Amino acid sequence: QFFVFCHGLLQLSQLLVSGYLKSSISTIERRYGLSSQTSGLLASFNEVGNTLLIVFVSYLGSRVHRPRLIGCGALLVSLAGFLMALPHFLTGPYQYDHSVASTFSNITDLCQPGAPGAGANLSDASCPPHGSRENQEVLLVMFVAQALLGVGGVPIQPFGISYIDDFASQRNSPLYLGILFSLTVVGPGVAFMLGSAMLRFYVDIDKVSSAEVQLTNKDPRWVGAWWLGFLVAASLVALCALPYFFFPRDMPKEVGELLHTHTPRWGRNATGTRTTGSFPVVLLRNLRHPVYLLVVLAQVNISAMVAGLATFMGKFLERQFSLTASLANMIIGAVNIPGAMVGIVVGGAILKRFQMSLRQCSALCVLGMLLCLLTAFPLLFLGCPTQKVAGVTHWDSSGSGHHAMACNVRCRCPERGFNPVCGSDGVEYTSPCSAGCSSVALRPDGSVLNYTGCSCFGAAGAARPGPCGTSCSHLFVPFVVLSCLAGILASTSHTPSFMLILRSIQPEDKSFAVGIQFMLLRVLAWMPGPVLYGSAIDTSCVLWERRCERRAACRYYNNTLFRHR
């Protein structure tokens, strides 16, 4: 029971490391100027290390000292977590455009017609001498860390499960495995809550004093302390790894009928029996099985969707409803993931209560999916229109472009400036300079109150800092409710679809069939899913940030396209 306790904690903290990346992905994109395609690849890269080794490890089986190998894997996962946070300590402080001269720089982004070339020095400032090399180093470290995370995670689940199944009494084994399974579902929810907590702090909390930070977490330039969560999660994993070096290689089999639960007839040999026949023969025998093949393909489709959504749902909420990253993570961790858990439990309960046949199982899956489609369809229309941004998504009557707008031509604005302000005309401008604002009024604490003397919308008008926000916050609650409902309905088919596989395959092929199933899910769903989603999101971008002549993160999306794609 102590082993089950340790293993539960370890699986939870391992999921914290891999799940936390998904919660801070939009922040890392902004901090290091990544496109969603790159960040999607990063998010799914741990599956690469995992897949390469999983076959080998399953083959080793009980010939090794399993607890010790689990401990080593956990230490690797912990190392990977610390490596993920390393780029923060390798790079300098985060830099953003601002209108108030600070201790770092006296460059401002106001309209300064008098100063010749005032704009020039700003655009140079956005490219430090070795900026592009620094960026490649950051990416390299993060990709290596993700690969290590995958490799370290390999022994944890299969060895833990087979160890428990070997030494637990037949009565208790399903209960213990059930506890572990429920923790793997809770893990990502906890990871998003951790993200929600950490992203409230400013990224350079360890490098600059809070007085010098002129951003609030609602500002589009805000970057939260993404690295902090990796330190927390990696420390937890390291802590959980220690007991594994003291477990014996073999335990005396647990005696006692502590808990009267009966083993379902499919529970035993999922990890127990060896397969008969050679590898290719069994592989073909399973793949020719129409039920097995169809169910696995269906699972591949839904898993690819889940993988993409898990990675970019937060970013989607941030952009569509102008939420902070912290709030978006809170919604996912507290509403969407628990919803999916409820669905899995409900699906399993229906199965147990009505002792369903194979045909009824498949009917239940189909029903769940159809209802999910019906509730998800309105989500295509629940979202905000693209904000009006001068020169990006909105042009004045002359139809001229942003930098040629008559009202700010005398300002010589830098092309790259990004410090959004909202004009009194309800149009957003990418910087005070592009709105033609020449002076700034401050509050006593040094933060910006408003910008005045703006030539783009009448001298009387003032611009307030920050984006204009969205006019459709009333759609946010219906969106969350419907997406949660769709998730509950879709996940009811989780258990019945597994039963379809376990019951339609010859008993001696079970462990092999489940192995092949997970392999296909990894290769066809978990790996490409986030990359495909990221690429689709990138196609809806209307203004890219440029860093050192390199396309960096996206500033503005066409919200409607983003939503539909």
Look up the pTM and report it.
0.84
pLDDT, tens only, 371-415: 999 999 999 998 888 888 887 777 665 444 444 466 777 777 777
pLDDT, tens only, 50-96: 887 776 766 665 577 888 989 999 999 999 999 999 999 988 888 87
The H or E element containing residue 28 is helix 25-32
* Nearest residue to 24 via CA among 160, 319, 228: 228
Distance CA(449)–CA(467), nearest Å, equals 14
Amino acid 439 reads S
* Nearest residue to 556 via CA among 30, 22, 23, 25: 30
* Nearest residue to 266 via CA among 156, 361, 186: 361
Four-CA torsion 536, 538, 542, 546, nearest 10 degrees: -170
DSSP letter at 370 equals: H
Distance CA(426)–CA(405), nearest Å, equals 17
Instruction: State mean pLDDT over 426-451.
Output: 81
The H or E element containing residue 365 is helix 358-376
Which residue's entry shows tokens 């770092």? 104
> CB under 8 Å to 46, separation ≥6 — which residues?
18, 146, 147, 149, 150, 153
Instruction: Tell me whether residue 241 is exposed, middle or buried, using C-beta atoms within 10 angstroms of its C-beta: 0 to 12, 13 to 18, 19 or more.
Output: buried
pLDDT, tens only, 168-203: 777 777 778 888 888 888 888 999 999 999 999 988
Confidence of residue 285 (pLDDT cuts 50, 70, 90): confident
With pLDDT > 70 as the criterion, what percentage of the chain qualifies?
Answer: 85
Q: Supply 233's token pair.
A: 């999660």
- Taken in order of first residue, the domains within the chain and their CATH numbers are 1-98+132-253 (1.20.1250.20), 280-387+469-564 (1.20.1250.20)
